[in-house]
Amino acid sequence: ETGVTQTPRHLVMGMTNKKSLKCEQHLGHNAMYWYKQSAKKPLELMFVYSLEERVENNSVPSRFSPECPNSSHLFLHLHTLQPEDSALYLCASSQDWLENTEAFFGQGTRLTVV
Amino acid sequence: AQRVTQPEKLLSVFKGAPVELKCNYSYSGSPELFWYVQYSRQRLQLLLRHISRESIKGFTADLNKGETSFHLKKPFAQEEDSAMYYCALKSNYQLIWGAGTKLIIKP
């Protein structure tokens, strides 16, 4: 699939579980992002990676841990989450972070913490 | 503080009627604003940006610095315009998002 692909599409996990969300882009973009989308709230930027280096960390709890092993892949490692972390997690990429060109989004992972 | 406000959570209009989705922003510098759209079961995607001054799918948006607004307009709504619409502001190399407006076009 072209564009930005996220897996899994749906995830249910217990508060003591450890899981990872995966994002992949084959657009040749240099910047990748994790967003959290909660019901009826604006998208919240969680992490930004530019050229595989983290450039923004918007005060996200340490139970969320990002990893960017190469320019095409981005992970979000989850551990000991809380029910209020249930949300849609969106990955996006753009050609360049500084120029903030058009962001291309994945379809998201719907996370439910029980 | 930088902020984007979309005052309407839901907007419902009849096919063929004009549409205006409101967006107001708070920003101390020279703003760059965007509209993104999410159709049912599709991913979020860019609709238009103010610096391009373009019309996409019949939609236009004009930046009004005096009123700090960037409202999205279309003179004649079509059923396929039904979607979630998000206004976003570029600030410090990241996007600040509004909460979104759900647009429903009634036949």
Strand partners for A83: none
| Nearest chain A residue (CA) to B42 | A107
B52: left (phi > 0), else alpha (psi -120 to 50), else beta?
alpha
Q: Report percent pLDDT > 70 for chain B.
A: 100
Block residue for tokens 């992490």: A47
Indicate yes or no: CB of A100 within 8 angstroms of CB of B9: no
pLDDT for the residue A1 = 53
pLDDT for the residue A40 = 77
To the nearest 10°, report the CA torsion of B87, B91, B94, B95. -10
Mean pLDDT over B24-40 rounds to 92
Of B86, B58, B84, the residue nearest B70 (C-alpha): B86
Chains A, B: CB contacts within 8 A come to 42
Residue A16 near residue A73, CB atoms below 8 Å: no
| Nearest chain B residue (CA) to A99 | B93
pLDDT digits (tens, 9 = 90+) for B63-91: 999 999 999 999 999 999 999 999 999 88
Please state the separation of Cα B48 from the chain's center in Å: 8
pLDDT for the residue B69 = 96
Could you give the angle at the alpha carbon of B19 between the alpha carbons of B13 and B21, nearest 5°? Answer: 105
Residue B72 near residue A79, CB atoms below 8 Å: no
pLDDT for the residue A2 = 66
Task: Return the structure tokens found at A39.
Answer: 């019901």
Contacts of B30 (CB under 8 A, 6+ apart): none
pLDDT for the residue A41 = 86
Of A70, A77, A102, A75, the residue nearest A91 (C-alpha): A75
pLDDT for the residue B33 = 93
pLDDT digits (tens, 9 = 90+) for B37-59: 999 989 999 999 888 878 889 99
Indicate yes or no: CB of B94 within 8 angstroms of CB of A107: no
* Helix/strand/coil for B107: coil
| Nearest chain B residue (CA) to A106 | B43
Residue B5 near residue B67, CB atoms below 8 Å: no
Q: Which of A100, A101, A107 to mutate to test the interface with B (most CBs of B within 10 A)?
A: A100
pLDDT tens for chain A, 114 residues long, are: 569 999 999 999 999 899 999 999 999 999 999 999 998 788 999 999 999 999 866 789 999 999 999 999 999 999 999 999 999 999 999 998 877 678 999 999 999 999
Strand partners for A111: A11, A87
pLDDT for the residue A57 = 64
